[in-house]
Structure 1
């Protein structure tokens, strides 16, 4: 959810702001919430197991291995696109003299090292990063809402376009905001006892509020037509917000530092999930162990995708990256739905422990 506010999601929704983006932001979290309930409820029936083990037990190898390869590669690609996007942002706004490929190399090294850790370590990193980032992020959003440049008349003007049916592009992007539950396909291994997921009903509402913030705040500050002039919409929005606290005057620097941690966290989780999926294709793989036959597949998969990320990121321009990200989200949504339905059907064949 949080990664949506700064990267390609606001830009995609801005392109469709007169063509159904608002209704898609309402429907997307609701649709995603339904699949979230199906997926998390299904995974509860496989306590302490990840999707590779579930598929090995329930499906023939001719089906399970290709599925794991596709899902693992998809998870790697999601993280790679975020790293490339953020490298563009850092190169443009924070460190203009450093070549983009150098930033990407540094990013993929740190992310690869984190992705090869155990699932429990990844969850500890998640907790720590969220505790440090969320208060500052909420403060930045509060300053944006109360900024004197925030024009609520521009926001109200968008109500006229609220009932236009959304396109598949905007709907898939809005649904993507609540697909973090897919990571449970690997992280479920950590939950070995009797577990339940509380307050799941709040997830769609959180997704809706974050999408609305990512969409309407830039419109209020930059204008309904002005938002079309920016690629990284939220960075330009944060740059238009000022505050007078100690040595911090421009919110954009605080905002970018916060999202450095959140971008790292997103890439860390997706690459961890991706490497575990690809390693799960091997019959002798033992997850979360230090044995060579368990660690080596992670090293190889992270290295291959790290090299690919640097090569692709160095060749893409900003417009190309935006186009690739848009098409990727339109492809990723059906894949996520397929994963959810597959796990749901497999869970119906198994009694809860």
Structure 2
């Protein structure tokens, strides 16, 4: 039931919010806030958004470090994995918005075939118990929990990239094929929930901490020189983690910089400003501090709270943007779609 509600909520919030951003091409979330809200309120909202992006990246850095240390090389110092990840993300996140956008597209194209291959192997594996999935599906009448709904809606949160990268959209931009969002969301929601149940059963599945890593290790390829699907999964997991942390560090950096009303964002920055290095380095140091403090239980607690707060923030952001769109329609002197991208990059 939580999945079903999350699909409806996630689809609604993502399509409505994306439609609102479409009305302000060339403007990121900070520019929209400064245009329609008092300066103090705009700065507070931008800072809140920056903290949410930064905390999400730090949580993924810890998860990546623990997963790679557990399955790739348990005898290796886990802080070495952390150092490699942090250095890569500091370098990637400090680039210009245009460079980060291109990097995300390239990494997605490289990762998609491997990810689809893992999903195909999961469905066609003869060890999958479809009866176990049907048993769990029979509990659809059970009352949902807010925590589960918030976690499931995270599958639809990719639209939040528009809060920053909408700056790169030219006037007259149209976001097409939004009907794909619920279809892709439904597929990945049921895949990520039911496939581990099919491999591990209805009782044991909740006992695993690294659930999808164990699930991938349950699959075997009978061709090629790599037999364990886990190795392929770790490659995909590494790419996805790098993409996510690069994006969150860059977005948090840009939002913190936008807390200054005098800041003028640029699509291309060459050479990279020192401020970019400083902000991303601070995020990296905070990642080390969090990894020193956290363990599996603390990280589970922090992640659950982050997912719930993120869901509330997304709904709040949707309502704010609807109010802004109403104000833009009400004021005949507002031309939000003009001038934003023209000034961007100068």
* Structure 1 counterpart SS, 2:141: coil
Separation in 2 of the partners of 1:291 and 1:70? Answer: 28
For residue 11 of structure 2, the aligned residue among 22, 29, 33 is: 33
For residue 168 of structure 2, the aligned residue among 190, 201, 207 is: 190
Does the 8 Å CA contact 2:22/2:173 hold for their aligned counterparts?
yes
For residue 310 of structure 1, the aligned residue among 272, 288, 292 is: 288
Does the 8 Å CA contact 1:275/1:298 hold for their aligned counterparts?
yes
* Structure 2 counterpart SS, 1:243: coil
For residue 123 of structure 1, the aligned residue among 77, 85, 101 is: 101
Separation in 1 of the partners of 2:251 and 2:178? Answer: 22
Map residues 71-82 of structure 1 onto 2, 5 A cutoff. 71-82=49-60
Equivalence for 1:58? 36
Map residues 100-249 of structure 1 onto 2, 5 A cutoff. 100-249=78-227
Does the 8 Å CA contact 1:29/1:175 hold for their aligned counterparts?
yes
Separation in 1 of the partners of 2:6 and 2:77? Answer: 37
Does the 8 Å CA contact 1:47/1:191 hold for their aligned counterparts?
yes
* Structure 2 counterpart SS, 1:349: helix
Q: Deviations over 1:266-301 (max 9, x none)?
A: 111121111111110112222125489x93443332
Q: Kindly state the Cα deviation for residue 38 of structure 1 after the two structures are TM-superposed.
A: 1.7
**RMSD, matched Cα:** 1.6
Separation in 2 of the partners of 1:170 and 1:97? Answer: 34
* Structure 1 counterpart SS, 2:227: strand
Does the 8 Å CA contact 1:100/1:314 hold for their aligned counterparts?
no
Separation in 1 of the partners of 2:204 and 2:295? Answer: 22
The gaps in structure 2 that reach 5 residues or longer are 330-335, 338-346
TM-score normalized by the length of structure 2: 0.91
The gaps in structure 1 that reach 5 residues or longer are 1-22
Separation in 2 of the partners of 1:339 and 1:297? Answer: 27
- Aligned residue pairs total 330
Separation in 2 of the partners of 1:126 and 1:185? Answer: 16
* Structure 1 counterpart SS, 2:202: coil
Equivalence for 1:255? 233
Equivalence for 1:342? 320
* Structure 2 counterpart SS, 1:177: helix
Equivalence for 1:301? 279
Separation in 2 of the partners of 1:268 and 1:124? Answer: 12
Moved more, 283-292 or 221-230: 283-292
Does the 8 Å CA contact 1:69/1:278 hold for their aligned counterparts?
yes
Separation in 2 of the partners of 1:300 and 1:39? Answer: 31
TM-score normalized by the length of structure 1: 0.90
Q: Deviations over 1:101-148 (max 9, x none)?
A: 222122111112111212221111111111111111111111111112
Does the 8 Å CA contact 1:183/1:270 hold for their aligned counterparts?
no
* Structure 2 counterpart SS, 1:42: helix
Equivalence for 2:61? 83
Q: Kindly state the Cα deviation for residue 149 of structure 1 after the two structures are TM-superposed.
A: 1.1
Does the 8 Å CA contact 1:144/1:241 hold for their aligned counterparts?
yes
Equivalence for 1:15? none
Q: Deviations over 1:207-259 (max 9, x none)?
A: 12111111111111111111122101110011010012211100011011111
